[in-house]
Amino acid sequence: MKLNVYLAGEIHTDWREAVKSACEGLDIEWSGPVTDHGASDDCGVEIFGAEEDKFWHDRKGASLNAIRIRTGIARCDVLVVCFGEKYKQWNAAFDAGYAAALGKPIIVLQPPEHDHALKEVDAAANAVARTPEQVARALRYVTTAAL
């Protein structure tokens, strides 16, 4: 079974590469947000012009990034969303909610200490993983029906 998997969530660790590496050989097409933090933050003002007010600077970037994110989530078969330890990823929660509203299957990757804070996200998910390896094993099972 071929899958299009969107990798949403935190951009400060190599979890995406760990999942992709562990899924080598599977028929998976990967997509996700722009993970270059500077490019993601500044794309709007780089393309459409500078803003003096940081609110509008951020708004331009967020609006432009939303085109990629919404399109990727709408096209995916499965959303994998990672909540890391370093920052509160409000965008990750939004992506999970958007995917849930579209009826997309969701795999959440999170540490146990986030369980209470993410209980609503977890309730909407099909699976909650603790490691990138668990995500990869789940995707391997879904694509091949093999454990």
CATH of the domain at 120: 3.40.50.450
How far apart are alpha carbons 106 and 122 in whole angstroms?
9
In a domain, 140, yes or no: yes
Angle between helices 37-48 and 54-75 (to 10 degrees): 110
Q: Which long-range CB contacts under 8 A does 11-14 form with residues at least 24 apart?
A: 11/35, 11/37, 11/40, 12/84, 12/86, 12/87, 13/84, 13/86
Phi then psi for 84, rounded to 5 degrees?
Answer: -85, 180
Residue 84's nearest CA partner among 36, 34, 13 is 13
CA angle, residues 97, 120, 145, in degrees to nearest 5? 75
Contact between 77 and 99 under an 8 Å Cβ cutoff? The reply is no
Using DSSP, state whether 7 is helix, strand or coil. strand
In a domain, 66, yes or no: no
* Owning domain of residue 138: 3-33+73-144
pLDDT of residue 89: 84
pLDDT of residue 88: 72
In a domain, 20, yes or no: yes
Q: What is the pLDDT along the chain (147 residues), one digit of tens a residue?
A: 999 999 999 988 999 999 999 999 999 999 999 999 999 999 999 999 999 999 999 999 999 999 999 999 999 999 999 998 877 788 999 999 999 999 999 999 999 999 999 999 999 999 999 999 999 999 999 999 999
| Count of domains observed in the chain | 1
Please state whether beta strands 127-129 and 28-31 pair in parallel, antiparallel, or not at all (unpaired): unpaired
pLDDT of residue 99: 98
